């Protein structure tokens, strides 16, 4: 290595532009579904390293040269570089949502755009990520703005720390090299803490860890550390050594792109491979002059990659909404041909944005003055906020209850009886008659996303395992409901049943943790989930103490499980293991309760009711569909296992479907909040039929 000395003077590096091209192309490939690059999302991590490198290089060079740092000048340059293109894509995506997305999707996008405009999208999506009840929704068209938020948060904090170190050195009349050493120590400490937190958080809360600045800060720190090493002259000697390191770094990035997939816990320790690889390429590229560049640097500097690197920011901004909006509007994945057209459109729009938006703002004389340029921040925020507010207001207007279309009734079709099955059949007939949707829906469409049942104890990971009695305060008998989020959706009905029938009720329900005694895989990471196994053991212990008069079990099917530490996803194997797990559960729970009943899972819809019902022009027929075939198979399996074990079965299917069709709206009530969970309103409406089916409804 070169000895420390006079800082190297490094100009624009073509190989860095090539790295940008590599990063954005792998991200686009992964998101477009290129099968041999499932881990291409690590391109974002490569961007983080590059950002840490370039920004630190710029800051330290300025501070070392003049002894001070112009924060106004720095933030003005960031404004010219980031805001114009980001604003154009946000506004265009909001406008597109009004044309091609459902009303509720447009409202959600407006919320996401607000968070993106203040560069806090990562906070928004971290909150969304840990919300199980959002798991089945389509991704936001601006979800990729989370990485911009991480970078902007870094840009907010890191220049202040750099300025502070140089100010501290100047105050003490110390050499500026001391300030650089202080920055190195700061990077090492903060980077190490961030890496440790990233590994820990990825293991415990992977959904929020993915978007967190705290779990990604070490990646930017790696780039910053490389910049400081280069600034101090600590680079590799010779072209051969530099080439070996560069090719090793590129190989590490490629291996991550090929070997990683959506099931890889990330970032955590898995991010070390692409991040250190990117750092190695940057470090190696600084070791030689332009005339002595090795083969890796020359490859990254070829003209096509340089051009793609120039467009990389606009490519990144455009690719995600162009992939997501059409797929969401069509309600299916894009075909290979459609994806190719989208990618081509991405490059076309990126080129136009680079030439007509990025370049004029970055190089135009109008924006050379920092004070004037800093006005881009409030202007950007105002334009995006006004567009998002208008999108939300117009969407709410479109979904407002202004029509006079009445609720569906059994009497309209001459169907006798007032039970739920009669109303479901009438709703199916209304769909066949192509009736309009009732104007006054319950719950309101704009509230459907938050229509989640509430209980006193919801046993999420980290929540205390304690009993919370509900139901009748004077109840002399005990009702226990066991299951997952599908059981939670039934609790409004059970509450009314328990209060009317005089039962003390306990809801031992844990979202995602199916009731079958199976070593279930965590839904988001497909990793072992010991908290679910612990909850099963705790549930059995509580049943032994409660001695319930009535135990009701209801749950969604298992999607994957572990056998001897190996993840099993094969559908036939999962069904067989689920059946065995149900049998183990009945054998364990039945002796602990006077009476045990399986409440069969609700038939699963093949559409998202929120999207369907909020699509302009939708009618009853559009939102009345057959139940999902897999759902029907698992329901049949679970009821067969229950019958074989002498367990009673209550089947709610007639209260939700008729003649092979399941209407999203029954009467005027939205039956499901998503594809598989009952709405709170429909759950309450089914209290009496549920109580009668259980034989405990009074009267």
In the β-sheet with 470-471, what is the strand arrangement from edge to edge? 470-471, 503-509, 477-483, 550-554, 596-599, 648-650
pLDDT tens figures, 261-290: 988 889 999 999 999 999 999 999 887 654
Beta-carbon-side half-sphere exposure of residue 327 (alpha carbons within 13 Å): 24
Task: Find out whether 44 and 23 touch, Cβ atoms under 8 Å.
Answer: yes
Tokens found for residue 514 = 């199916």
Residue 383, class by beta-carbon neighbours within 10 Å (0-12 exposed, 13-18 middle, 19+ buried)?
A: middle
Domains in the chain, please, with CATH? 14-394 (no CATH), 423-694 (3.40.50.1110)
**Range of lowest pLDDT (55-64, 84-93, 340-349):** 55-64
**What does the alpha-carbon distance between residue 209 and residue 62 come to, in Å, rounded to a whole number?**
34
Name the residue with tokens 């559908």.
Answer: 571
Residues 6+ apart with CB under 8 A from 646: 590
Query: What are the helix (H) ranges across 172-271?
Result: 176-204, 206-211, 213-231, 239-259
29, with CB counted inside 10 A (0-12, 13-18, 19+), is: buried
Name the β-bridge partners of 669. 442, 666
Both structure tokens of 676? 């598989």
Tens-place pLDDT, residues 294-332: 889 899 999 999 999 999 999 999 999 999 999 988 888
Largest CA distance in the chain: 94
φ, ψ for residue 649, nearest 5 deg: -130, 130
Range with the poorest average pLDDT among 189-203, 395-409, 630-644: 395-409
Q: Do the Cβ atoms of 310 and 349 come closer than 8 Å? A: no
Residue 437 has pLDDT above 70, yes or no: yes
Of 71-85, 358-372, 563-577, the range with the lowest mean pLDDT is: 358-372
697: buried, middle or exposed (CB in 10 Å: 19+, 13-18, 0-12)?
middle
Checking DSSP bridges between strand 470-471 and strand 550-554, what pairing results, if any?
A: unpaired
Q: What is the pLDDT of residue 617?
A: 82
Tokens for 17?
Answer: 């532009």
> Cis peptide before 267, with omega less than 30 degrees from 0?
yes
Closest CA to 306 of 12, 18, 28: 18
Kindly list the distances between the CA atom of residue 310 and the CA atoms of 79, 144, 297, 307, 492, in Å, as whole numbers in the listed order. Answer: 17, 19, 17, 5, 56
H-type helices in 32-102, by residue range? Answer: 43-66, 71-100
Selection from 222, 74, 78 nearest residue 152 by Cα: 78
The predicted pLDDT at position 294 comes to: 82
DSSP-derived secondary structure letter, 69: -
For residue 4, pLDDT beyond 50: no
Burial status of residue 60 (CB atoms within 10 A of its CB: 0-12, 13-18, 19 or more)? buried
d(CA 502, CA 65): 80
Task: Determine the Cα–Cα distance for residues 201 and 195; give it in Å rounded to an integer.
Answer: 10
Is residue 663 over pLDDT 90? yes
Length of the chain: 699
Look at residues 641, 672, 192, 605 and name the one whose alpha carbon lies nearest to residue 448: 672
- 229/284 Cα distance (integer angstroms): 11
Please tell me the distance from the alpha carbon of residue 325 to that of residue 276, in angstroms, as a whole number: 34
Model-level pTM?
Answer: 0.82
Total Cβ atoms within 10 A of residue 169? 20
Residue 509, pLDDT > 50, answer yes
Say which residues have a Cβ less than 8 Å from residue 400's Cβ, sequence separation at least 6. Answer: none
- Which pLDDT does position 130 carry in this prediction? 46
Mean pLDDT (whole number) for 126-139: 62
Q: What is the pLDDT of residue 138?
A: 76
On the CB side of 177, CA atoms within 13 Å amount to 7
The CA-based dihedral angle spanning residues 488, 494, 498, 499, taken in that order and rounded to the nearest 10 degrees: 100
Instruction: Compute the distance between CA of residue 574 and CA of residue 579 in angstroms, rounded to an integer.
Output: 9
Model confidence band, residue 525 (pLDDT cutoffs 50, 70, 90): low
Residue 479 contacts residue 550 (beta carbons within 8 Å):
yes
CA–CA separation, 662 vs 672, rounded Å?
Answer: 10
Mean pLDDT, range 40-56, rounded to an integer:
96
The pLDDT of residue 62 is 87
Opening angle at CA 565, ends 562 and 569, nearest 5:
35
DSSP letters, 335-384, are PHHHHHHHHHHHHHHHHHHIIIIIHHHHH-GGG-SHHHHHTHHHHHHHHH
Over residues 107-131, the mean pLDDT reads 87
Lowest mean pLDDT among 316-330, 399-413, 419-433, 485-499: 399-413
Whether the per-residue pLDDT at 612 is higher than 60: the answer is yes
């Amino acid at each position: 290595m070169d000895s420390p000395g006079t800082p190297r003077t490094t100009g624009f590096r073509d190989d860095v532009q090539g790295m940008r091209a590599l990063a954005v192309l792998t991200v686009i490939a992964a998101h477009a579904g290129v099968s041999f690059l499932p881990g291409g999302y690590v391109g974002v991590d490569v961007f983080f390293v590059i950002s840490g490198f370039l920004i630190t290089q710029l800051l330290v060079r300025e501070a070392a040269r003049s002894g001070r740092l112009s924060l106004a000048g720095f933030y003005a340059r960031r404004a010219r570089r980031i805001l114009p293109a980001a604003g154009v894509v946000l506004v265009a995506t909001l406008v597109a949502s009004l044309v091609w997305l459902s009303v509720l999707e447009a409202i959600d996008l407006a919320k996401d755009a607000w968070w993106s405009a203040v560069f806090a999208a990562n906070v928004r999506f971290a909150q969304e990520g840990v919300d199980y009840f959002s798991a089945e929704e389509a991704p936001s068209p601006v979800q990729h703005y989370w990485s911009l938020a991480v970078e902007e948060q870094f840009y907010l904090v890191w220049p202040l720390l750099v300025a502070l170190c140089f100010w501290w050195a100047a105050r003490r009349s110390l050499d500026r090299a001391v300030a650089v050493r202080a920055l190195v120590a700061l990077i090492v400490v903060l980077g190490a803490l961030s890496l440790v937190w990233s590994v820990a958080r990825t293991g415990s809360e992977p959904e929020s860890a993915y978007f967190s600045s705290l779990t990604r800060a070490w990646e930017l720190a790696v780039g910053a550390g490389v910049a400081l090493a280069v600034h101090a002259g600590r680079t590799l000697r010779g072209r051969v050594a530099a080439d070996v390191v560069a090719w090793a770094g590129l190989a590490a990035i490629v291996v991550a792109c090929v070997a990683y997939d959506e099931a890889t816990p990330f970032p955590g320790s898995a991010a070390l491979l692409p991040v250190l690889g990117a750092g190695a390429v940057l470090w190696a590229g600084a070791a030689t002059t332009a005339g002595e560049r090795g083969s890796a640097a020359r490859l990254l500097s070829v003209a096509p990659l340089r051009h793609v690197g120039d467009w990389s920011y606009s490519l990144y901004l455009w690719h995600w909404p162009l992939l997501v909006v059409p797929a969401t509007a069509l309600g299916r994945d894009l075909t290979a041909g459609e994806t190719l057209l989208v990618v081509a459109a991405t490059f076309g729009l990126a080129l136009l944005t680079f030439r007509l938006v990025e370049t004029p703002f970055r190089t135009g004389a109008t924006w050379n003055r920092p004070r004037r340029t800093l006005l881009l921040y409030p202007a950007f925020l105002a334009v995006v906020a006004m567009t998002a507010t208008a999108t939300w207001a117009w969407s709410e207007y479109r979904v407002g209850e202004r029509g006079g279309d009445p609720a569906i009734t059994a009497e309209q079709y001459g169907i006798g009886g007032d039970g739920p099955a009669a109303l479901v059949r009438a709703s199916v007939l209304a769909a066949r008659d192509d009736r309009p949707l009732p104007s006054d829906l319950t719950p309101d469409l704009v509230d459907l996303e938050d229509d989640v049942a509430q209980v006193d104890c919801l046993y999420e990971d980290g929540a205390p395992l304690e009993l919370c009695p509900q139901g009748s305060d004077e109840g002399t008998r005990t009702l226990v409901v066991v299951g997952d989020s599908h059981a939670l959706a039934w609790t409004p009905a059970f509450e009314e049943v328990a209060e009317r029938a005089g039962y003390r009720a306990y809801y031992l329900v844990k979202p995602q943790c199916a009731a079958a005694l199976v070593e279930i895989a965590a839904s988001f990471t497909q990793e072992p989930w010991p908290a679910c196994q612990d909850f099963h053991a705790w549930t059995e212990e509580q049943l032994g103490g409660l001695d319930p008069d009535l135990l009701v079990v209801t749950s969604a099917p298992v999607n994957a499980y572990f056998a001897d530490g190996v993840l099993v996803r094969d559908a036939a194997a999962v069904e067989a293991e689920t059946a065995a797990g149900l049998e183990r559960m009945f054998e364990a729970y039945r002796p602990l309760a006077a009476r045990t009943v399986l409440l069969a899972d609700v038939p699963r819809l093949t559409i998202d009711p929120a999207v369907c019902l909020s699509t302009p022009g939708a009618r009853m027929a559009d939102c009345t569909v057959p139940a999902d075939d897999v759902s029907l198979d698992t329901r049949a399996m679970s009821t067969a296992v229950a019958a074989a074990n002498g367990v009673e079965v209550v089947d709610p299917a007639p209260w939700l479907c008729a003649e092979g069709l399941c209407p999203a709206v029954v009467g005027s009530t939205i039956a499901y909040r998503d594809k598989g969970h009952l709405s709170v309103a429909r759950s309450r409406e089914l209290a009496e039929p549920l109580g009668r089916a259980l034989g405990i409804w009074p009267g």
